[in-house]
Structure 1
Amino acid sequence: MKILVPVDGSERALDAVRHALRLKREGLNATFVLATVQEPTYLYELMLAPDADVLERVSGAVGSRALEGAEALFNAADVSFEREIGSGDPAQTLVELAERLACDAIILGSRGLGTLRGTLFGSVSQAVLHAAKVPVTIIRHTESDAAN
């Protein structure tokens, strides 16, 4: 079983990571893909950046920072993982990643660092839940999650 675990650097995303690691500790035979999605580049950013390589490096650096906490938890648990950094609409990109990587399930936090747009028009987790062709588990945040 291959499980996509989207993260954005938020504590709620780490709740999903902790849940995935708990399932692994309890005997689930699974591999994991940690994924993050960066917002698309806008024309304004394209005009300010000297070239596409600069934008790619900046986006990759931001994506790597978003993955740091999740990677640290996986490394501490001695569980191997793949990593993916996507760009575009977060929900759509996550669903496409899950399909492209042949993931069997998605585990994600209930809310993350989404923008006001996400609050007004529905969260990424809800959009993934409705669009994914594989089972989706949304992990609700509780204060005790951080201790596990």
Structure 2
Amino acid sequence: MNILLPVDGSPLSMEAVHHAIRLVADGLKANFVLANVQEPSSLYEMVVVHDPEALRRVSAEAGAHALSQADALLAQADIEHDMEVAIGQPAHTLIDIIERYECDAVIMGAHGMGESGAAFGAVAQELLRHSPVPVMIVRPQQRPESDAAADSAAQEQPDTNP
């Protein structure tokens, strides 16, 4: 079974990687495809840089950096995986990767770097609508109410340091 793990380096995308590792530890037999999609260069970037190869190199380096933590976690867990950094519109490019690697499923975070107040980020919503394979959304872990209440109380305490 091949499973796509889209990773952008955000904490929620890393939670999806941790979830995938737990599934393997529980007996799932799977290979993973770590993928990062970089947005295409803007017209401004193309005008300022003048070197398409330099722009591609910067995108590849940014993508490799975004994948590095997930790569290390999967390697440490001795889980087979491929990695791909692609350039394009994220949801459409991820669907291309699903088809190219013949993935059977996707495991991803509810939000990426562009986190909003919506239940799911734009890329997650697009994949839910258009993916040819099942998509598992890993939601953020809920903190116990006692932790949230303690944080709230700490924020309300006046600063007594001179």
Q: Same fold (TM over 0.5)?
A: yes
Query: Which residue in 2 is equivalent to 1:127?
Result: 126
Query: Which residue in 2 is equivalent to 1:54?
Result: 54
Residue type at the aligned position of 2:72: A
CA-to-partner distance for each residue in 1:79-136, whole Å, 9 max, x for gaps? 12100111111111111110121111100000110277x96xx521111111101010
Question: How is 1:41-80 mapped onto 2 (pairs within 5 angstroms)?
Answer: 41-80=41-80
Please give the alpha-carbon distance, in whole angstroms, between the structure 2 residues aligned to 1:41 and 1:5: 24
Please give the alpha-carbon distance, in whole angstroms, between the structure 1 residues aligned to 2:105 and 2:114: 22
Question: How is 1:68-107 mapped onto 2 (pairs within 5 angstroms)?
Answer: 68-107=68-107
Query: Which residue in 2 is equivalent to 1:36?
Result: 36
CA-to-partner distance for each residue in 1:34-80, whole Å, 9 max, x for gaps? 00101111111111123111011100010011101111211221212
Residue type at the aligned position of 2:97: L
Query: Which residue in 2 is equivalent to 1:137?
Result: 136
Q: Which runs of 5+ in 1 are unaligned?
A: none
Please give the alpha-carbon distance, in whole angstroms, between the structure 2 residues aligned to 1:143 and 1:34: 25
Match of 1:95, SS state, is helix
Rg larger in 1 or in 2? 2
Match of 2:125, SS state, is helix
Match of 1:4, SS state, is strand
Displaced runs of 4+ in structure 1, greater than 4 A? none
Query: Which residue in 2 is equivalent to 1:25?
Result: 25
The farther-off stretch of 71-80 and 30-39 is: 71-80
Please give the alpha-carbon distance, in whole angstroms, between the structure 2 residues aligned to 1:50 and 1:4: 34
* TM-score, normalised with respect to structure 1: 0.89
Deviation of the 1:143 alpha carbon? 5.1
Match of 1:14, SS state, is helix
Per chain length, whose mean CA-contact separation is higher, i.e. which structure has more relative contact order (CA < 8 Å, sep 6+)? 1
Residue type at the aligned position of 2:20: A
Please give the alpha-carbon distance, in whole angstroms, between the structure 2 residues aligned to 1:143 and 1:6: 22
Match of 1:32, SS state, is strand
Residue type at the aligned position of 2:111: R
CA-to-partner distance for each residue in 1:16-43, whole Å, 9 max, x for gaps? 1011111111111110000010111111
